[in-house]
Amino acid sequence: MRFFILLPFVAALCVAGQTPPLPKDGSPVDVLGFRWFQDRLPAPQADVQPNVPMRAVIPENKYFQRKAREQLSPGAIDPNEQTIDGRSAAIEKAVQESRTLQAKAVDGYSYRATVKNITGTKTEVIFWEYQFTELANPSNFVRRQFICVAGIKPGENKELQVFSIAGPSDAISAESLAKPSQKLFDEKVVVNRIEYSNGAILQRPDWDYKKLKPAIDHAVKTPWGREMCRAF
């Protein structure tokens, strides 16, 4: 099922260049769809490098023997593993792995939203949020906010993906718990701020960047890996 949300935006600040021209409805992006689900972030694999002497040179490492060994089926025994140095390296690696603190997988939630850039300027950064309103208790309103480094060309669609340990709600009413098979929340995705490649910025007038800046700075202070988005 596709959802379409058109949000009124204003030019909050123009750092450099010109504000991208907006469509007649005033919306810089279309939110084409969104979803969330329980997810698990796999534990990173520890890279253990055993500190052992350089392995001994054996006849099997000469050119013709080495080339012949490359033709063997996968799983064939490497003769280097049968040497004293090879066995020592395997033992040392096992010892180091046993002493290395093993990270654990993290249980959490994935939030995703597909957006389309309908301006003529490439986007660089998008601030957006996933809103939850409990149907049985509308006063229970939750906002999960995210920042994404998303280079979206004019006319291009992109799915924004973020993992967070925070779920749709920290608390839920007894009435909702009594109806687990029914829809629990009214859900909505809102784009709060877009930073463009030419330096222009579009921001919703009721969203306070300065107030949230400490949380944003904390979320982005560590180096980014392959992730596109982070929660703040």
Residue 130's pLDDT is what?
97
What is the residue-averaged pLDDT of the chain?
79
Q: Name residue 42's amino acid.
A: P
Residue 3's pLDDT is what?
28
CATH of domain 10-42+106-231: 2.60.40
Tell me what percent of the residues of the chain surpass a pLDDT of 90. 47
Q: Which two tokens stand for residue 169?
A: 């709600």
Q: Indicate if the pLDDT at residue 212 is higher than 70.
A: yes
Q: Please state, in angstroms and rounded to a whole number, the distance separating the CA atoms of residues 120 and 28.
A: 10
Model-wide pTM > 0.95: no
Q: Indicate if the pLDDT at residue 114 is higher than 50.
A: yes
Task: Determine the average pLDDT of the residues in 126-149.
Answer: 95
- Tell me the per-residue pLDDT of 145-198, one tens digit each, with 9 for 90 and over: 999 999 999 999 999 999 999 999 988 888 888 877 788 999 999 999 999 999
Lowest mean pLDDT, pick from 5-9, 108-112, 140-144, 185-189: 5-9
Residues 168, 131: contact at Cβ < 8 Å?
no
Residues 190, 123: contact at Cβ < 8 Å?
no
Q: Indicate if the pLDDT at residue 12 is higher than 50.
A: no
Residue 181's pLDDT is what?
78
Q: Which two tokens stand for residue 110?
A: 């994935």
Q: How do the domains of the chain map onto residue ranges?
A: 10-42+106-231, 59-99
Residue 180's pLDDT is what?
74
Q: Please state, in angstroms and rounded to a whole number, the distance separating the CA atoms of residues 168 and 189.
A: 13
Residue 60's pLDDT is what?
65
Residue 11's pLDDT is what?
36
Residue 137's pLDDT is what?
92
Tell me what percent of the residues of the chain surpass a pLDDT of 70. 64
